[in-house]
Structure 1
């Protein structure tokens, strides 16, 4: 995925849900901090943008609407080669203070609307807590390319609450992979 595609996703999502800003929760939030030319290939492979409305009801109706209109297998997906996965803002397990570190992506390509992207270390924490093979590949790539610090990721992992088992697994993975 390219930053221009993320900007397009922000523009489309905000128009559909009639809000000026959205959270970018998944891996492509890295494009708020780095361009695709700076990133390793493993960090831009996804054709999915996880977007959470700033304000949604308990049933996540707006997230569901994003899925229906610009989600996987939609006309938007077929036309543009990427799609939006509508999610709730609590979908990702994130470290304390993550909202204070959001990276704003707003420019002419977003029509002045804003994508609030996860800061790269916070994104890595969320990916490691999810713990899927593709998440380890993503985090490993941005660590190896010096885009994030293993020490900062470990510090932030320590602040994750309510999921000690996955937090401890994530810490162990980082420590064994990058501190040996």
Structure 2
């Protein structure tokens, strides 16, 4: 079990289910969209541990202005350093719908749809996760894609094609392709 934020777990389907049930309880909500590395516990459960290793399950629900304050008040009960974290070795991070604002059309159709004890869950497809990571472009996101290329969980040509078809603006396309080349180089591929 992860015993600190610096010692994350390779999350599996059971961790995922635990997080969803707890999120439903604390946020009083029956539907979530799961993004981030923790989504691989469902979308690619057989991926190597290194790909599923994270300290959190990142999720959000449809924006509801009347619940914003209650949700914010509930965040510490499942966040980093919470009792939930101490018990399970990972935490729940709530983000906003903005996370997928520039996602390629049809991401909802590609998402994995689950119902866990009456809780509806959309889990981001692994290609949409790669797109999202390359769009964010943080060092940890580039490292994630590089590891996916090394493990052959992701294929360079498939991701590149997906980016080219999905990017809504040329400047976004150029930035994402640059990030993909950074990941390729980090993975040990030929320099761009």
Q: What is the TM-score normalised by the length of structure 1?
A: 0.81
More contact order relative to length (CA 8 Å, sep ≥ 6): 1
Hey, what does 1:123 align to over in structure 2? Answer: 129
Residues 1:77 and 2:85 are matched in the alignment: yes
Hey, what does 2:40 align to over in structure 1? Answer: 30
Hey, what does 1:105 align to over in structure 2? Answer: 114
Secondary structure of residue in 2 paired with 1:90: helix
Q: Separation in 2 of the partners of 1:156 and 1:65?
A: 38
Which protein shows a greater Rg?
2
- 8 Å CA contact 1:52, 1:63 repeated in 2: no
Measured after TM superposition, the shift of residue 149 of structure 1 is 3.2
Residues 1:53 and 2:61 are matched in the alignment: yes
Measured after TM superposition, the shift of residue 59 of structure 1 is 8.2
With over 3 angstroms needed to count, the CA separation of the structure-2 counterparts of 1:66 and 1:116, relative to structure 1, is: farther
Q: 1:138 aligns with which of 135, 144, 150?
A: 144
Q: What count of residue pairs does the alignment treat as equivalent?
A: 174
Unmatched tracts of structure 1, length 5 or more? none
RMSD after superposition: 2.6
Q: Separation in 1 of the partners of 2:87 and 2:121?
A: 22
Hey, what does 2:51 align to over in structure 1? Answer: 43
- 8 Å CA contact 2:34, 2:59 repeated in 1: yes
Q: 1:153 aligns with which of 142, 159, 162?
A: 159
Measured after TM superposition, the shift of residue 75 of structure 1 is 1.2
Measured after TM superposition, the shift of residue 13 of structure 1 is 1.0
Q: What is the TM-score normalised by the length of structure 2?
A: 0.77
Q: Which stretch of structure 1 is more off in the superposition, 137-146 or 62-71?
A: 62-71
